Structure 1
Amino acid sequence: MAKVLLCIGTNLGNRKNNIERALNAIDKYAGRILKTTEIMETKPFGITRQPYFLNIGVLIESKHPPSLLLNILKRLEKKLGRYPTYRWGPRVIDIDILTYENIRIETEKLRIPHPGIKERNFFKKTLELTRKGAL
């Protein structure tokens, strides 16, 4: 079992409900939820002319290797209503893998740790889950 730090974001539709549905799906299919941050409203990153996001950080324990976990999360996003838009565009749901134990991966489809960790304030706050002895 690996401890994995995720970030969920949403800025379309019923944002709180989108997060709840994502949390339920993650717990059921991706891994057991150990801890979450509080939900935080954040300004959009990259393309700023869109609705604000609700974000939540999630620490899970997963049996799935990184690439399979990514595939599971992408399927969950689609099931929860995500549809293709454009980079940094608005979305019903976004689930990112921030860290996966102490593993480093750099492929075309997956980069761990997430490259946005150093740029986005919410990602930095989510990392506090790991600093408090959770990982």
Structure 2
Amino acid sequence: MLPVSPQSRTRPGPDVPALTVARADGSTATLPVDVTLIGETVSTVLESREGTPGRPVCALWHRWLAGHLRLLSPIAVEQAPRWGDPKRTALVEATAEAVTQALEDGLPADRHAAYVHVQKLARECRGLLGLVLDQPGDGR
């Protein structure tokens, strides 16, 4: 049996929270980023469990994470220069490139390797979400 999507527990439409992010040009933009949904997806994938989930479950998680990562990566890369820290910008860009490569490589056929792969993607997703939420000047 496949797990229930965190998306099914949220109502679509105007209830999706908006996230204000810093743009590279100094402006801000409000985007429909459901931080709660992304966090629930990451928690689902990284939750402690006995045994290795089957490949169909990992494939489902891979699809969820791919959508979140494709949303978060460009936001994080765009706003990274606002920190004025070239090392941080380089780290964000390298992370985005690694995520893109991991998504292009796809899900391994072996169920154990697939599980490790989605766990890695979930950790990268958690990290990118943290970077997107960590805005310059908000005291964090």
Q: Same fold (TM over 0.5)?
A: no
- Which has the larger strand fraction? 1
Structure possessing the higher relative contact order (Cα contacts under 8 Å, 6 or more residues apart): 1
Greater Rg by CA: 2
TM-score normalised by structure 2 residue count? 0.28
